[in-house]
Amino acid sequence: MHESRSQAVPVDPAAERAAIEAAIEQCRDLRGATLPMLHAIQDRLGYVPAAAVDAIAAACNLSRADVHGVLTFYHDFRTAPPGRHVLKVCRAEACQAMGCERLERHLADRCGIAMRGTTADGALTVEPVYCLGNCALSPSVLLDGRLHGRVTPERLDALLAAAEARA
């Protein structure tokens, strides 16, 4: 979670508030509730809105900085709504060795986004991951939760086109 909020996908403040409240209620009594709360919010909304930091800090009697630290420590959290499709590109050793930068470069050329971000039309969010456990078939990506190995730029285009057609 390091990318600033993209304006590509509109947000619904009322839904944000409701999701935050529900998540806090659900996890209030857990020990170390911050992380479960953040997950519960992301599960509900697909991202963690800025307002969640203040709300969790107040609920858990932490500082805002405490919560911000947790939120930013985990790569999984997003602070803006994702696009219609989420593509996670592996950047760990095996995939690097097998040329994942080619995929990165291709994405930059094709969609105008770097390794983290959402396209202007809100179609696609790209995020890095570190090892998908699919090293034998690297380079690997995860598209909308499905794992694909030995991905070339051409295959990536095909996968994205197919996904967009399904949506």
List residues near another protein by CB under 8 A: 1-2, 50, 53, 57, 61-69, 72-73
Shortest distance, position 133 Cβ to ligand FES, whole Å: 6
Nearer to ligand FES by C-beta: 48 or 90?
90
**Region near ligand FES per CB under 6 A, out of 5-13, 30-38, 50-58, 133-141:** 133-141
Counted residue by residue, the chain has a size of 167
Shortest distance, position 74 Cβ to another protein, whole Å: 8
Give the CA count within 13 Å in the CB-facing half-sphere of 94.
Answer: 17
The answer to whether 24 and 55 have CB atoms below 8 angstroms apart is yes
| DSSP-derived 3-state class of residue 20 | helix
Shortest distance, position 6 Cβ to another protein, whole Å: 16
Q: Is 154 exposed, middle or buried (CB count within 10 Å of its CB: 0-12, 13-18, 19+)?
A: exposed
Shortest distance, position 59 Cβ to another protein, whole Å: 11
**Closest by alpha carbon to 139, among 101, 86, 82?**
101
Give alpha helix (H) positions in the chain. 13-27, 34-45, 50-60, 64-73, 93-97, 100-111, 153-166
Nearer to ligand FES by C-beta: 11 or 131?
131
Binding to ligand FES (CB under 6 A): which residues in 89-118?
Answer: 90, 92-95
Nearer to ligand FES by C-beta: 32 or 130?
130
Nearer to ligand FES by C-beta: 83 or 139?
139
Cα(54)–Cα(90) distance, rounded to whole angstroms? 32
List the single partner that 90 binds among another protein, ligand FES, none, CB under 5 to 8 Å by kind.
ligand FES
List the single partner that 3 binds among another protein, ligand FES, none, CB under 5 to 8 Å by kind.
none
